Amino acid sequence: MKTAVVFAFIGLCVLSALSLAEDLKKSKPSATVSPAGEFSAPTTTTPKPTTTTPKPTTTTPKPTTTIPKPTTTTPKPTTTPSPTPTAAANVSVGNYTLLDDKKVMCVMAQMALQIRLATPKANGTFIVQPNMVKTKGTCQDTKVNLTLAFKEGFITFTFNKSVANNTVYVDTLSFSLSYPFSKGGNGEYSANNKSMQLFPTKIGHSYSCKNQSLYMGNGLYLEVTQDRMQAFNLTKSNEFGLPDPCPADLPNYSVAIGVGVTLLVLIVVVVVVYLLSRRKRADGYQSL
Long-range contacts of 269-278 (CB under 8 A, 24+ apart): none
pLDDT: is 45 or 114 the higher one?
114
Residue 11 lies in a domain: no
Within-domain flag for 224: yes
Q: Which one has a higher pLDDT value, 138 or 41?
A: 138
Write down the pLDDT at residue 253.
Answer: 58
pLDDT for 35-44, tens place per residue? 433 333 444 4
Q: Answer whether residue 215 is part of any domain.
A: yes
The model's pLDDT over 52-105, given as tens digits with 9 standing for 90+, comes to: 444 544 454 454 555 555 444 444 433 333 334 444 457 889 999 999 888 889
Tens of pLDDT, residue by residue over 216-273, are 999 999 999 999 999 999 888 889 999 999 988 777 656 667 778 888 888 888 888 8
Do the domain assignments include residue 204? yes
The whole-angstrom separation of Cα 214 and Cα 222 is 5
Contact in structure between 229 and 110 (CB atoms under 8 Å): yes
Q: How many domains does the chain have?
A: 1
CATH number at residue 133: 2.40.160.110
How far is Cα 173 from Cα 169, in angstroms, rounded to an integer? 11
Residue 162 lies in a domain: yes
What was the pLDDT predicted at 80? 34
Mean pLDDT of 97-122: 92
The mean pLDDT value of the chain amounts to 75
φ and ψ at 260, to 5 degrees?
Answer: -65, -45
Q: What pLDDT, on the 0 to 100 scale, is given for residue 8?
A: 56
Could you say which DSSP state residue 83 is in?
P
Model confidence at 173: pLDDT above 60: yes
Kindly state whether residue 238 falls inside one of the protein's structural domains: yes
β-pairing, 167-178 with 153-162?
Answer: antiparallel
| Mean pLDDT confidence for 17-28 | 50
Is 269 part of any domain?
Answer: no
pLDDT band at 23 (very low <50, low <70, confident <90, very high): low
User: Measuring CA to CA, which residue among 154, 214, 159 is closest to residue 190?
Assistant: 154
Q: Which domain holds residue 223?
A: 88-246
Residue 132 in this model has a pLDDT that exceeds 80:
yes
Share of the chain above pLDDT 90, in %: 42
Q: What is the pLDDT of residues 192-228, one digit of tens each?
A: 988 778 999 999 999 999 999 999 999 999 999 999 9
Q: Is residue 263 part of a domain?
A: no
